[in-house]
Structure 1
Amino acid sequence: MDAGLKCYHCGLDVPASSHYNITIFEKERSMCCPGCLAVSQAIVDNNLTQFYSHRTINSNTAVADSIDIITQFELYDNSILQDAFVTHHGALNEASLMLEGIVCAACVWLNEKHVNALDGVSEFRINYSTHRAYVIWDNEKIKLSEILKEILNIGYQAHPYDASKQQHLIEKEHKQALWRIAIAGLGAMQVMMFAVAMYAADSSTGFTMDDSLRNLMRWVSLVFASPVIIFAAQPFFKSAYRDLKRFKLGMDVPVSVALIAAFSASVWATVTHQGEVYYDSVTMFTLFLLSGRFLEMRARHKAGFVAEQLIRLLPTLVTRVVEQKHEIISRSELKPNDIVLVKAGETIPADGIIIDGDSLIDESIITGESQAIEKKSNSTVIGGSLNTANPIMVRVEKVGTDTVIAGISRLLERAQTEKPQIAKLADKTAAWFVLVLLLMTSIVATWWYLNDSERVFEIVLAVLVVTCPCALSLATPAAMTAITGKLTRFGLLTTRSSALETLAKVTHVVFDKTGTLTYGKPTLVKQKMFTSMSEVDACRIAASIAKFSEHPLSVELYNKFKDYIKDSDCNSIENFTGRGISGVIDGEEYILGNALFVQQHFNIDCFDNNQEFKSQVFLANKKSVIARFEYEDVIRDDAVAAINQLKELSIKTILLSGDDDVVTKNVATQFQFDSVHGNCRPQDKLHLIQVLQENKAIVAMIGDGINDAPVLAGAQVSMAMGSATQLAQASADMILLSNKLIHIPFAIKMSKKTMSIIKQNITWAIMYNLIALPLASMGYIAPWMAALGMSLSSLLVVTNALRLTAGTSWYSNKEGEQGQSNS
């Protein structure tokens, strides 16, 4: 591409390696990215090319006027275009949006309040750290374009999330912030030179200054302060205007009142040659506040980097194989069943199945597992993982919003935007605080006007500035974003951040056995016959029934004997969750399940002489037990260490299993469980947890199967293994993508630390205001000191929260088994 070529759609620079072109008005146009190409294609396909005729776009800013923006919003209602960023859940749609114009926690509050009030919007939350919004709406009641227009109406702009454009907005935000800081800094330095001279000439120092020279210095100070108030402080005024237009009192309202009042009083004093000027306070306050917010913005972006990093893992270009020919295409063009070539060192572009080749796949960014995993033909691979060894051919199974990485990103985004109770309390306090602050400022101003009118502006300015509740509103969001990102890097995905608040209070951790405490890959090691039926027939019948069950024991049995299955149908299937399954084959009813199930169902003896303490499955008909199948499963390597660390945290541990008591208790002998329960059906497990809760216990449940879903939903905190069924994961508050049990005590420790930091932040914010307000009201704090104190207070809160992202030794045990990870 030619240097300086602009994208025909958005006006951004077209990268040299770009090849995204489309014909518009019978001329080939260049696009900067797949997103613009997709939007342009939708415009052309729907005969809406007039959009390009009537728009007025400045190629330097790439921002259309309001008519163009609204026209573009309507394009996002197109179902074809929505396939790229919308997830459908029946009648409800879910999407991730980027928001422009968010400058403080009050902006988040205003947007959430306004959009959630719209008929048809089920949920709307904003992640203050990344400025990404999470919206769920009913398309029958409201269109996405209407939601975007409503956001525009209150002074903000939203777009469907695009990783590359998000990065551009971040860079743009940084650049603008640095320009404002530079202008404020230069203005403040020049104004302070004259201010020092005028302070030195005060009568108390013995030095004097000619009135004409003093007035000249004031006029020169006005010249240098004007760009600061007009350009550098503009974000505060815009934010305050948006709030007041909606009859809300945001945090930038008192800031703007202070700046305008101080600058106006200074201009009046300069023109009339009477009173004091506060140009130094205005410029210094603006500089300190801009600097503090810039550092806070950098910290926010760092805390929210994990969600962005997940999306950026996917490659822009992929090699698709069509009829033995290789073609380079954009990842957005991939469709299910496409065949792609992934060379060694390349990133897998989408979820799929290896159809040719074998290699080592690094899934560490997704699961937290540091070692590459061997994958062969028919193995599943996850988009975003790295192929480290050999070239492989992959058949694409899922693309776009259906991929694992997109799902993780959505869950992480949801977790970071959800607010625990302590955060909601802080938000309510901050909202009322501004009103109380303005009332108190009025009282302080009245008192000083009646007693020392010359100091009114100085005192009011200091009060307004020093008590801005930025730190209070930042106390929780900064910490929650930091900890969810931290845990995700360790392979522990938090789907509901409110769970972290409860996890810090957990008193009991309940484990399922198969697939949780063990690897969930039982191996069928032996079968014993009890009737004259041939072993082949028994295995055929058992496999025919096991085919309809997702229990790990049934899956193993089916995989081992599926070749024995004939064409005969197995019908009248009935699942008895956690116990067994029945079916009719060749007109006769058979059941497959544990000993207790067989005894209860057919009232016959199972010959259950389990001397080897193995998991067992019985095949029986109405006459007798036909066969017994025996399994072995392996305990997870880190299970003992995890239980020991939970003990050290004074947390009680419980084992629940659907296996019989003998097998369950034998497994438990390797651990130090406080109680063990076998022969548990899902309702039995749920009942046991409810009994614990009635006794004031805070219960965390760890499970992996469909039969665990009700129990996971019933516990105060639930964790599903990364290998768990979709239903189990959907019921869980957290997902162990790493499948490492040692991350459970780590998560509990980190949740305790998180709640401690949130409480520290809130305590600091409240104590700071309680101390600063009286001092400022009594005149002991100068305006420039107030500006510095307020900025440092907000920065301290964010910096304290970022301690959660520091490298941590996440487990060690007395037996010498250790693990270390640095974030």
Structure 2
Amino acid sequence: MGQAFPADGCLIEGRTQADESLLTGESRPLVRGVGDAVIAGSLNLGAPVLMRVTQVGHGTRHQQIVALMQRALTERPSTVRWADRVAAPFVGGVLLLAAAAFGVWMHVDPSRAVWVAVSILIVTCPCALSLAAPSALIAATGALARRGVLVQRLDALETLAQIDVACFDKTGTLTEDRLALAQVVWPDGDDLQAWQRRAAALAAHSRHPLSQALVRATPSEDAASWPWHGAREQAGQGLEALDADGRRWRLGSAAWVGVVPPTDLARPAVWLAPQDGTAAPPHARFEFDEVLRPDTAGLLQSLREQGIRLRLLSGDRAGAVQAVAQRLGLADARHDATPQDKLASLRALQRQGHRVLMVGDGLNDGPVLAQADVSVALGHGAALAQQRADIVVLGSRLGEIAHARGVARRCAAVVRQNLAWAAGYNAVCVPLALLGWLPPWAAGLGMALSSLVVVGNALRLAR
């Protein structure tokens, strides 16, 4: 219990709950009994079980996702800098220009032909042009690193400034990896606090995520004030124990407790009721909801204001996805999405000409992170997702994504300024060198000064 399943297989003995959130995006632990399939890499949360291995190595769901991610990485759209495109023809043109100038000056004034050619070569040395983008990118990545944002691919900053669609995973990305108590329904005329203290004290005997959420929502001194005896947990069902008067109580699913749940209940819930043989025992219902990260709403609002289209891609069930989408005002939300579905959705956007940002944290996000024009993984996420992402946000602070885009846009502006300076410098100095008005020493000084201007402009990003 508490360990990851080592391979794909099916259970042949026991009953438990499996946390598959990093593999499928499902936010709640899933009940797994005899004959049910379990996935390599998912966590066993409920009880010790015995499984039959059906797939190992490359045949497991885990490895299929990894293989899909590797294929997506090779098909990712490439970005080529303007400076990289012009560098080769620029150097060739400079050499031809210097040779032509040497030939002309051999007829005009042979004594000056060599230093005119040398001046042209020096003044057009593409230092400023070559430094225009790298100096800005390095300064920007250094500034981001000091804020805990690690840029693993420098080109990603250029593309981040150009994105027009942002896609997000839900579980563990927009929401935290825990649930919170959202509502309590208790019998009329009874004391709410008494019901909650009683339930929290019993829940403290379990490591189930819903039990832990109930304990966190109740002051520890209140939970400790209600004694239980003989507490026992039934995997996939709930807990039962005796109170101080010897009365048996159960906390868990509606069927386990013996009550009929509301037909319109959308949130995960547990029930608490005494087991005194009555058909409809008095009971309390504790409903839970996913917890949004503190800066989720702020990030989405910032992106909306910049005209970026937002999309939610989640492997979770429809009810959970729609609930989060409504809270965040997201009109475009996909649920029950497999890694292949997410990849297909993102590729469709790219075929339409969009530049797509993908933010995720799970192993199931690996393929779509590899395919996206720019990908961001959160620091708490799966190691494989972080390895394939262009940017990793340490501390999982979503607000840093908006800041990183701001830095990327400033970086793009600085690169354009540097390129304009380099082009202007060459437009002025090359004719002077051709006319023989710029000696080699002056050409060297101008080349050095132009490089200093480019680097100095880029250093503004480091502030």
Q: Is the 8 A contact 2:176 2:293 kept in 1?
A: yes
Per-residue CA deviation, residues 426-453 of structure 1 (Å, 9 max, x unaligned), is: 3564455445434422321222221223
Shift of 1:485: 1.1
AA aligned opposite 1:646? L
How far apart, in 2, do the equivalents of 1:746 and 1:433 lie?
Answer: 35
How far apart, in 2, do the equivalents of 1:554 and 1:687 lie?
Answer: 37
Q: Is the 8 A contact 1:463 1:773 kept in 2?
A: yes
Structure 2, unaligned runs of 5 or more: 1-77, 186-198, 217-229, 237-259, 272-284
AA aligned opposite 1:455? R
Shift of 1:646: 0.4
Per-residue CA deviation, residues 433-486 of structure 1 (Å, 9 max, x unaligned), is: 445434422321222221223433443343232121111221222122111111
AA aligned opposite 1:778? L
Q: Which of 255, 267, 286 is the matching residue for 1:614?
A: 267
Q: Please list, as runs of the form range in 1=range in 2, the aligned pairs for 1:638-657 lying within 5 A after superposition.
A: 638-657=295-314
Q: Is the 8 A contact 2:123 2:430 kept in 1?
A: yes
Residue aligning to 2:99: 442
SS of residue matched to 1:634? strand
Seen in structure 2, the aligned counterparts of structure 1 residues 608 and 789 have a Cα distance that, compared at 3 Å, is farther
How far apart, in 2, do the equivalents of 1:526 and 1:670 lie?
Answer: 16
Shift of 1:422: 3.8
Q: Is the 8 A contact 1:757 1:800 kept in 2?
A: yes
Shift of 1:676: 2.5
1:776 counterpart = 2:409 = no
Residue aligning to 1:518: 175
How far apart, in 2, do the equivalents of 1:756 and 1:463 lie?
Answer: 29
Q: Please list, as runs of the form range in 1=range in 2, the aligned pairs for 1:581-592 lying within 5 A after superposition.
A: none
Residue aligning to 1:665: 322
Seen in structure 2, the aligned counterparts of structure 1 residues 729 and 521 have a Cα distance that, compared at 3 Å, is same
1:704 counterpart = 2:358 = no
Q: Which of 766, 782, 793 is the matching residue for 2:423?
A: 766
Q: Please list, as runs of the form range in 1=range in 2, the aligned pairs for 1:493-572 lying within 5 A after superposition.
A: 493-523=150-180
1:470 counterpart = 2:123 = no
AA aligned opposite 2:421? W
Q: Is the 8 A contact 1:657 1:664 kept in 2?
A: yes
SS of residue matched to 1:521? strand
SS of residue matched to 1:462? helix
Seen in structure 2, the aligned counterparts of structure 1 residues 556 and 497 have a Cα distance that, compared at 3 Å, is farther
Q: Please list, as runs of the form range in 1=range in 2, the aligned pairs for 1:420-439 lying within 5 A after superposition.
A: 421-423=79-81, 426-427=83-84, 429-431=86-88, 433-439=90-96
TM-score, with normalisation over the residues of structure 1?
Answer: 0.35
Number of residue pairs matched by the alignment = 325
Once superposed, what is the RMSD of the aligned Cα atoms?
4.1
Per-residue CA deviation, residues 71-90 of structure 1 (Å, 9 max, x unaligned), is: xxxxxxxxxxxxxxxxxxxx
Seen in structure 2, the aligned counterparts of structure 1 residues 689 and 428 have a Cα distance that, compared at 3 Å, is closer
Q: Which of 757, 780, 784 is the matching residue for 2:414?
A: 757
AA aligned opposite 1:482? A
Shift of 1:668: 2.8
Residue aligning to 2:351: 694
Residue aligning to 2:149: 492
Per-residue CA deviation, residues 276-314 of structure 1 (Å, 9 max, x unaligned), is: xxxxxxxxxxxxxxxxxxxxxxxxxxxxxxxxxxxxxxx
Q: Is the 8 A contact 2:98 2:118 kept in 1?
A: no
How far apart, in 1, do the equivalents of 2:211 and 2:354 lie?
Answer: 34
Q: Is the 8 A contact 1:653 1:673 kept in 2?
A: yes
Q: Is the 8 A contact 1:526 1:629 kept in 2?
A: yes
Per-residue CA deviation, residues 305-342 of structure 1 (Å, 9 max, x unaligned), is: xxxxxxxxxxxxxxxxxxxxxxxxxxxxxxxxxxxxxx
Shift of 1:669: 3.1
How far apart, in 2, do the equivalents of 1:507 and 1:427 lie?
Answer: 24
How far apart, in 2, do the equivalents of 1:492 and 1:486 lie?
Answer: 9
SS of residue matched to 1:700? strand
Q: Is the 8 A contact 1:615 1:663 kept in 2?
A: no
SS of residue matched to 1:476? helix
Shift of 1:770: 3.4
Seen in structure 2, the aligned counterparts of structure 1 residues 725 and 454 have a Cα distance that, compared at 3 Å, is closer
Q: Please list, as runs of the form range in 1=range in 2, the aligned pairs for 1:445-456 lying within 5 A after superposition.
A: 445-456=102-113
Q: Is the 8 A contact 2:149 2:391 kept in 1?
A: yes
How far apart, in 1, do the equivalents of 2:89 and 2:392 lie?
Answer: 37
Q: Please list, as runs of the form range in 1=range in 2, the aligned pairs for 1:399-410 lying within 5 A after superposition.
A: none
Q: Is the 8 A contact 1:701 1:715 kept in 2?
A: yes
SS of residue matched to 2:395? coil
SS of residue matched to 1:519? strand
Q: Is the 8 A contact 1:490 1:738 kept in 2?
A: no
Q: Which of 116, 129, 137 is the matching residue for 1:480?
A: 137
Aligned-pair identity (%): 40
Q: Please list, as runs of the form range in 1=range in 2, the aligned pairs for 1:265-344 lying within 5 A after superposition.
A: none
1:799 counterpart = 2:456 = yes
SS of residue matched to 2:178? coil
Q: Is the 8 A contact 2:180 2:291 kept in 1?
A: no
Q: Please list, as runs of the form range in 1=range in 2, the aligned pairs for 1:804-819 lying within 5 A after superposition.
A: 804-806=461-463
Q: Please list, as runs of the form range in 1=range in 2, the aligned pairs for 1:721-740 lying within 5 A after superposition.
A: 721-740=378-397
Shift of 1:630: 5.1
Q: Is the 8 A contact 1:492 1:738 kept in 2?
A: no
How far apart, in 1, do the equivalents of 2:303 and 2:86 lie?
Answer: 36
Q: Is the 8 A contact 1:616 1:631 kept in 2?
A: yes
SS of residue matched to 2:288? strand
Per-residue CA deviation, residues 30-51 of structure 1 (Å, 9 max, x unaligned), is: xxxxxxxxxxxxxxxxxxxxxx
How far apart, in 2, do the equivalents of 1:525 and 1:491 lie?
Answer: 32
Residue aligning to 2:334: 677
Structure 1, unaligned runs of 5 or more: 1-419, 529-534, 547-551, 571-580, 582-605, 619-627, 807-823
Per-residue CA deviation, residues 556-603 of structure 1 (Å, 9 max, x unaligned), is: 79x9xxx9899x9x9xxxxxxxxxx9xxxxxxxxxxxxxxxxxxxxxx
> Per chain length, whose mean CA-contact separation is higher, i.e. which structure has more relative contact order (CA < 8 Å, sep 6+)?
2
How far apart, in 2, do the equivalents of 1:645 and 1:659 lie?
Answer: 25
How far apart, in 2, do the equivalents of 1:771 and 1:630 lie?
Answer: 72
SS of residue matched to 1:609? coil
Shift of 1:508: 1.2
Q: Please list, as runs of the form range in 1=range in 2, the aligned pairs for 1:197-216 lying within 5 A after superposition.
A: none
Runs of 4+ in 1 over 6 A off after TM superposition: 524-528, 552-557, 563-566
Residue aligning to 1:395: none
How far apart, in 1, do the equivalents of 2:409 and 2:173 lie?
Answer: 24
Residue aligning to 2:27: none
SS of residue matched to 1:723? coil
How far apart, in 2, do the equivalents of 1:438 and 1:685 lie?
Answer: 50
AA aligned opposite 1:804? L
Seen in structure 2, the aligned counterparts of structure 1 residues 771 and 608 have a Cα distance that, compared at 3 Å, is farther
Seen in structure 2, the aligned counterparts of structure 1 residues 617 and 790 have a Cα distance that, compared at 3 Å, is farther
Q: Is the 8 A contact 2:325 2:331 kept in 1?
A: no
Seen in structure 2, the aligned counterparts of structure 1 residues 432 and 716 have a Cα distance that, compared at 3 Å, is closer
Seen in structure 2, the aligned counterparts of structure 1 residues 525 and 666 have a Cα distance that, compared at 3 Å, is closer
Q: Which of 611, 615, 635 is the matching residue for 2:292?
A: 635
Q: Is the 8 A contact 2:182 2:287 kept in 1?
A: yes
SS of residue matched to 1:633? strand
Seen in structure 2, the aligned counterparts of structure 1 residues 500 and 629 have a Cα distance that, compared at 3 Å, is farther
Seen in structure 2, the aligned counterparts of structure 1 residues 737 and 564 have a Cα distance that, compared at 3 Å, is farther
